[in-house]
Amino acid sequence: MPVEQNLNIVPFVSVENMMDIVLATGTETFLQELAAYVEEDFRRWELFDKVARIASHSRDGVIELMPASDGRLYAFKYVNGHPKNTRNGRQTVTAFGVLSDVDSGYPLLLSEMTILTALRTAATSAVAARYLAPKGAKTMALIGNGAQSEFQALAFKALLGIENLRLYDIDPSATARCRSNLSHLGLNIIGCRSAEEAVEGAQIITTATADKRNATILTDNMIGPGVHINAVGGDSPGKTELHRDILLRSSIFVEYPPQTRIEGEIQQLPGDSPITEFWKVVTGQATGRQDERQITLFDSVGFATEDFSALRYVYDKLRNGNGFERLDLVADPDEPRDLFGMLLRRKALTAHLNS
């Protein structure tokens, strides 16, 4: 992948740009293409410099930095998680990201990542489910119908062929909104009155709640044999969705153990509890679903390589077209060592223009 020729002019993908790119591509096509990048980078897992996200926790939320590099490109995402924000008309999660050239250290792309994170989370969930969910699954329960829900539904439709969606949220208006948004997109949708009702007949169960607490969205008696659980909402210390007994019955797959053991559902288990790293399933070094009665759990907390994949995908799309703005982000003096002289020349130019 060639580096931008004019490295001081950095492509910037605003929220409007991102929406236009997604709509021009088609949401389901975007998810399918993004999923291919995510899967490719799981196959390259051992090439990456990896670290658990750097988190600053407060009473009401968390602010995190998520870096990763494959030795050629470097990416990081800034992201927050503040469940109380919805009470003030704000998003629970907001994010932006940067993709850079390792050789020069120059940024290649600055992008919004609030929408892109929702898309990459859904794409990653669906990639995992292709390896872990029952073959031919057609029905998914989606518990927690917030900002992530429609993306999850469309990713599972596009990548796994899900046809039936069973929705539940403690806020009925969230379920109504999700149902309305998806009503013309080819899914059979049932709004449910409880989580217990939602999981009836579902081969895949996705939990995507936002409260920053140890919750029990699913209890042990709700989970029958053969189910795949896509646990998305438990993504920080003290924030879980599943009863511990479910974990003890499940084959558990994670992204990056040092991060997941702190933030995921498995924070409820001893530090030496058995888990499987998902990249090993993708590369054939470990087995995913083994039989029809196995309960599989993807303990998804979101990892930096997935953001790397998303930024790499968007950058590759933009290299072949428009859909972005340009920022004069990097200082570019005529003489690299004369940064102060650049200020002086700007001062002289401003004085001339004002004279």
For 170-193, give one letter per residue: b (16+ CB within 10 A) or e. eeeebbebbbeebeeeebebbbbe
142 and 208 in contact (C-beta within 8 Å)? yes
171 an active-site residue? no
Of 41, 60, 169, 235, the catalytic one is: 235
Q: Which of 229, 238, 234 is nearest to 57 (CA)?
A: 238
The radius of gyration of the chain from alpha carbons, rounded to an integer in Å, stands at 22
**110: which 2 tokens?**
């600055």
Instruction: Specify whether the CB–CB gap between 179 and 150 falls below 8 A.
Output: no
- CA distances for 345 relative to 8, 282, 330, 335, angstroms: 18, 55, 17, 12
CA distance 94 to 75: 17
What residue type is 261 in one-letter code?
R
183, two tokens: 């009503």
Sign of the alpha-carbon dihedral angle for 201, 212, 38, 26: positive
Consecutive H or E run containing 75: strand 73-81
Q: Which residues are catalytic?
A: 235
